[in-house]
Structure 1
Amino acid sequence: MSTPGATPDPAPGRRTLHPASYIAPAAPGHPYRWLTEVPRPGERARSRLLEVGEVVPPVNVAEGLGLAEDGMAVLRRQVLSIDDEPVELVASYYPVEIARGTAITEFRRIRGGTPTLLAGLGHPPVRSVDRVSARVPTQEENAALRLPGDLPVLHTLRVVYGEGDRPIEVSVMAKAGHLYELQYEFGAGQQP
């Protein structure tokens, strides 16, 4: 069994990430789990918030949240980095009825991340479903991740469900495909 967070990969320069471990709320008073579990010893992880606001999300996000056509969601877009090198561009969307009037709508970092805040609001993350693909980066992803040339990105569409199988978050993530791989673990007989 592997440890949560990130572990070095034998391939030079490549890092293995364990995404399922980051959706759990952080311990009280601790930072967002990605910031503490992904960096290797001596590295410093950071998040830089780019945008917060109510938007009409892309179709795949609206479907994930169960929104009607032209339904609104709260967007939090950020870049996650290690030692000032961008790792991941993340756009996370939340149902307006959950997010409105909370720190999710404020342009500031949230101690423990949104999984911790959602749990505190009575919407703890119970499970997530990831759809992962490799594709050509958009211009925004290329610039934000400082990609050399036309290298592919790993694109993840994650739907996080709370109690009663209610979607509480949909995130669209892109990371450099030549630097990262994703590792998921499943027990025998479990559906991925």
Structure 2
Amino acid sequence: MPEEREDPRPIADTIAHEIRRLILCGEWEPGRKLPTTEQLTRQFRTSNVTVQRALRKLKDEGFLVGHSGQGVFVRDRAPVEIAPAPMMAPAPPGQPYSWITEARKRSQKATFRILDVREIVPPRRVREVFGLPDDGVAVLRKRLGLLDDKPAELVWSYYPAELARGTRLADRRRIPGGSPALLEQMGHPTLGQEDIVGARYATTDEYLLLQLPGEIPLLEIFRVVHSRDRRPIEVTELVKPGHVYKQSYSLTAQR
């Protein structure tokens, strides 16, 4: 028999984790009124002070809202599901980047703030994808994505230097239609991508730029975009606040 273990975390944290799970999975729908503090105290077999501490944590994170004289309620919108597939293809001529049009379908306003564009020695796993030596360089485009004027994702996109130099990829101007449209115009159509998805906590830079309300896990995606002959033409690292956004995928079986 395996040795029984007890959860060593503070009880207020474990209560917050359980309520957060119920909200994120949709069991507790937007606008739902929470049980009373007395009911939660009995359910979790703890004190009123501990329950209040858990609820305060979730209010600070934006999961719950309190209405004086009425009670505590789940926030009025569900976590946003972001599907990468519709954003892989280039935008039609004259249309904005697909990330913006996809947000419009959800009745959201999407914008990007370009934070940095330059040639750098990229992280090791980016160098490995591009086949670069330890001192090899790539073009970086770092930007902050906003939905309804609130930080939604932080993105580092890398491009082979010999491909990006002298193009819009290498300067701070916005790219009409986004990078997929420009790459296709340059003769490098997007023909596939591979994502590795993980979770971690924010660095100081990420914490401040994403305006996180606390120690919120981030959804981390490492994406490799391929063109003809499976040539990698873009490597992107991006992070999203895990308490607000979900990543969805649709896969078709190959027979």
TM-score, length basis structure 2: 0.68
Pairing of 1:89-100 with structure 2 (within 5 A): 89-100=154-165
Structure 1 residue 23: Cα displacement: 1.7
Cα displacement string for residues 128-186 of structure 1 (whole angstroms, at most 9, x for unaligned residues): 00000010111111111111110100000000000010000000000001111111111
Paired residue secondary structure (1:21):
helix
What is the aligned counterpart of 1:70 among 135, 139, 144?
A: 135
Structure 1 residue 41: Cα displacement: 5.0
Counterpart CA distance in 2 for 1:32 and 1:167 is: 20
Is contact 2:103-2:109 (8 Å) kept?
no
Structure 1 residue 64: Cα displacement: 2.0
Counterpart CA distance in 1 for 2:221 and 2:130 is: 15
Is 1:120 the equivalent of 2:170?
no
Is 1:106 the equivalent of 2:171?
yes
Return the letter of the residue paired with 1:141: E
Structure 2: gaps (5+ residues)? 1-24, 31-77
Structure 1: gaps (5+ residues)? 1-8
Counterpart CA distance in 2 for 1:169 and 1:151 is: 28
Gap change, CA 1:138 and 1:115, over 3 Å in 2: same
Which structure has the bigger radius of gyration? 2
What is the aligned counterpart of 1:50 among 111, 115, 122?
A: 115
Match in the other structure for 2:214? 149
Structure 1 stretches of 4+ with a deviation exceeding 6 A read: none
Structure 1 residue 21: Cα displacement: 1.7
Is contact 1:17-1:38 (8 Å) kept?
no
Match in the other structure for 1:164? 229
CA RMSD between the two structures: 1.5
- Count, aligned residues: 182
Is 1:32 the equivalent of 2:89?
no
Question: More relative contact order in 1 or in 2 (CA 8 Å, sep 6+)?
Answer: 1
Is contact 1:127-1:162 (8 Å) kept?
yes
Gap change, CA 1:185 and 1:140, over 3 Å in 2: same
